[in-house]
Amino acid sequence: MLERLPAGWATNCTSTTSMSSLCGESAPSLKMGSNGNYIESPVYNDGVRTLSFWHRGSGSAASNTIIVEALLDNNWEVVSRITPITTASGGKTESFEFTKNYRAIRLTYESSTTASLYIDDIKVGHGGPITDVALAEFKNLNVGNVTSYAVENLPQVGTYSYDVMAHNAEFKSKVSNRISVRLLPPAGIENVAVDKNVACYVDGNQIVVIVDEPTQVAIYDAAGRMVCSENVAEEGRFELKGGFYIVRTSSKSFKVVVK
């Protein structure tokens, strides 16, 4: 029987389990046994900054999907589709950091089998402003009389922003609009590719696809069989076994290797 949820949370699930192998840090975990089962957080008007949760599927749940959505303004936006779902002992913890002003989180089970999904340890970090931290070595940097400039040796993976101002001995222009760029994790040349509007790289056993706008992404194995397909809104993560894969969007194909 489902125990009372924390204030503001909502779900259409009806049961939990206390089996230690199907729970995260402690019992119970939430059992999702039907297509469309979900759990939804309260609305945090101070903004959702982080999300993490533990999950494990049973039986044939590996072929199903966990849809991670976030509320932006009054619309739900898909931020990730997790497939295949791990059925391995110990389960798996997913973690997200958000730079958009999301206000709520929803996890939905998309299932074409009778297998169950167990969700536990949902942690939503919210509140506090998103503050830009200036990098001293690049502040007011004079790059000379050039039309492009390569910025190297940035300290870590993340989102960086920059603006530009032109000047001569007498005058200064207005500062340009601020542009944000997401720095990808380091990877071998065979595991990362970037197109005008799409980036694709391998992170452990996951193929990660980052897009500027909603894009249909399909992944094929070395035999040409489609192993997954979904519409990616911003970032999609696809957990796959080791092998060679083709990642296709409407405008670009990438060859990647999961080791």
* 65 in the same domain as 90: yes
- My answer on whether 214 and 178 are in the same domain is no
The position carrying tokens 């200064």 is 172
Number of domains in the chain: 3
Same domain for 17 and 86: yes
CATH code at 107?
2.60.120.260
Look at the alpha carbons of 135, 140, 146, 148 in this order and tell me if their dihedral is positive or negative. Answer: positive
> Are residues 57 and 107 located together in one domain of the fold?
yes
Express each pLDDT in 176-186 by its tens digit.
888 877 665 54
How far is it, in rounded angstroms, from Cα 160 to Cα 184? 11
**Which two tokens mark 50?**
């982080």
Decide: helix, strand or coil at residue 51.
Answer: strand
Both tokens of 131, joined, read 């503050």
Asked if residue 3 belongs to a domain, the reply is no
The answer to the question of residue 107 being in a domain is yes
Per the structure, the complete domain to which residue 164 belongs is given by 132-183
- pLDDT bucket at 10, cuts 50 / 70 / 90: very high
In a domain, 113, yes or no: yes
Are residues 155 and 94 both part of a single domain? no
Predicted TM-score (pTM) of this structure: 0.54
CB of 221 within 8 A of CB of 244? yes
Look at residue 203 and tell me if it is in a domain: yes
Task: Give residue 53's identity as a one-letter amino acid code.
Answer: F
Q: Positive or negative CA dihedral for 179, 180, 185, 188?
A: negative
Residues 59 and 119 in one domain: yes
Which tens digit of pLDDT belongs to each residue from 76-107? 999 999 998 999 889 999 999 888 889 999 99
